[in-house]
Amino acid sequence: MQLGLTDVWLLSPEIALTGLAVLVMVLDFFMRSGGTGPNRGTLAVVAIVGMLIPAGFTTWLAFSPNRPTTGFYGMLTSDNYALFFQYLFLGIGLGVILASYDFIRLYIKASGEFYALLLFSLVGAMFMASSTELITIYIALELTSFPLYVMAGMLRNNIPNNPDSSKRSSEAAIKYVLLGAMSSAILLYGMALLYGVTGTTDLKSIASALQTFTSGGPNALVLLLADVFIFAGFGFKISAVPFHMWAPDIYEGAPSPGTLFFSVASKAAGFAALIRVFIAGGLVQTSSFYVWGLIAIAALFSMTLGNIVAIVQSDIKRMMAYSSIAQAGYILVGFAALAFQPKNNSATSAILVFIAVYVVTNIGAFAGIIALANATGGERVRDFDGLFRRSPALALGMSLCLLSLAGIPPLAGAVSKVVLFIAAWNQGGFLPWLVIAGLLNSVISIAYYVGIVYRIFVATPPRDDRLPISRAASTALVLSVIGIIALTIFIGPLLNAGGMGAQSLFSYLGK
């Protein structure tokens, strides 16, 4: 068997995105060596326009009739699940670059490096969603992670009203590297144990090997440890309790555009790989209830700790960090539903829908946070006091995003949460209790989400001036608001896309 054009064809979105990252680096180098300094506007435009090429290849793959879906000896797939996340990651890249343009211009000197690192990380995230072999998934995770470590420490100029911001950025990068290395080692150890049980690293072959696995056999404990270590390794990426310890400090210390990217890209990529490994690898059918009990406990504590601790935060980015932890808990509620019905298409599709809505909403919320930081240098909760009087459009757009994150009906965030909870409730077992806990936590989350909205509209502003909001940040926020409204009204197409993506995973398990 030899590699052919079909294999390259399936890899075309990743190749195009890699070429775009290299192009940004080359342009930045020549601009610097020419003595004119980096033209941040040019680099951002090149990055945004250039993403149309991988988006075009992804669309071509999605709508090509009778196309092959696997390549590179079965290590890569271009099924509907992978295509769903490829579109999502490209949207993340567009949103983050737009929202961060002015922040990078003001506070980050190495704009070319920032954009290139972001694009390389997106390439790794795409591979995490499309890889069907354990070692390839691990390498993709490292490709996703290494740029994030650098991005966390790229703040070199102190932000006004935050004189220690550059120092805390460096500290965040160091913490991220150390904890990231630890989580990678745990994940790799889990993969090694799974290889020891099955004798293969190919997910389809693992699923076939585990079909004959007996729960009382001598390898039962090894498989249990493999499941736990794999979940723990990905648990770091999704910032689920008790693997969340990195999120608050790193979210607070990293540059706000980096924090935005961590909160959406890293979490989406982590869930993409976790779900594929467990479903396509057949672990959903063989994992013991000890594993699913651990996942349910992680879901419960992620929701509860995230929402309760977020209430008392005074830094907006730390608050969003704990919000992100809580959102991971909600997603794990749907993931735990697989314990009772491994081929649960409704739960898996609900997870994909929830992740997509979360990404769109979180980009909008952070676009507002970054826009305020650009205008005032403030990143504290109290800096949002009276924002409506200073920038009505920014206040309205960000409030809509926060209310959607809180799950206030009829916004898309509420719809996605209802879909997820209904899918979990229908499975029975301990899931109804977990859903009830999720509903209670949704009520708790109103305290801090609506608390920010209250400050925006009711509190007295520190000044009566008008805030200048750039076109780039405004565009990112407007696109997020349009996305929330569109998903609220037309949630059906997203549900269909999520269902198609979920269904493609179960083909690995056979009938």
Give the Cα-Cα-Cα angle 431, 339, 355 (nearest 5 degrees).
Answer: 75
Residue 85, pLDDT > 80, answer yes
Tokens of 325: 């932890």
**pLDDT on residue 38:** 47
CB 95 within 8 A of CB 367: yes
Residue 31, pLDDT > 90, answer no
Task: Report the chain's mean pLDDT, rounded to a whole number.
Answer: 85
Which residue would you say has higher pLDDT here, 213 or 288? 288
In angstroms, the CA 183 to CA 274 distance is 14
Radius of gyration (C-alpha) of the chain in whole angstroms: 22
Confidence band, pLDDT 50/70/90 cuts, at residue 289: confident
Q: For 384, which DSSP code?
A: G
In angstroms, the CA 35 to CA 318 distance is 39
Number of domains the chain contains: 1
**pLDDT on residue 216:** 58
The mean pLDDT value for 159-181 works out to 76
List, for residues 196-238, the tens digit of each pLDDT value. Answer: 888 888 888 888 888 776 555 667 788 888 989 999 999 988 9
The mean pLDDT value for 464-473 works out to 81
Residue 381, pLDDT > 90, answer no
Q: Which of 184-198, 258-272, 282-296 has the lowest mean pLDDT?
A: 282-296
Helix, strand, coil % in the chain, rounded to nearest 5:
75, 0, 20
List, for residues 332-346, the tens digit of each pLDDT value. Answer: 998 988 877 767 678
Give per-residue burial for 353-385: e unless 16+ CB within 10 Å, then b.
bbbbbbbbbbbbbbbbbbbbbbbbbbbbbebbb
CB-based burial label for 410 (10 Å; 0-12, 13-18, 19+): exposed
Phi-psi region of 255 (alpha: psi -120 to 50; beta: other; left: phi over 0): beta
Which residue would you say has higher pLDDT here, 48 or 508? 48
How much of the chain exceeds pLDDT 90, in percent? Answer: 34
Most confident of 102-106, 351-355, 489-493: 351-355
Which domain does 481 fall in, by range? 5-509
In angstroms, the CA 59 to CA 336 distance is 32
Confidence band, pLDDT 50/70/90 cuts, at residue 269: very high
Residue 410, preceding peptide bond in cis (omega within 30° of 0): yes
How much of the chain exceeds pLDDT 70, in percent? Answer: 92
Pick from 81, 423, 401: nearest CA to 263: 401
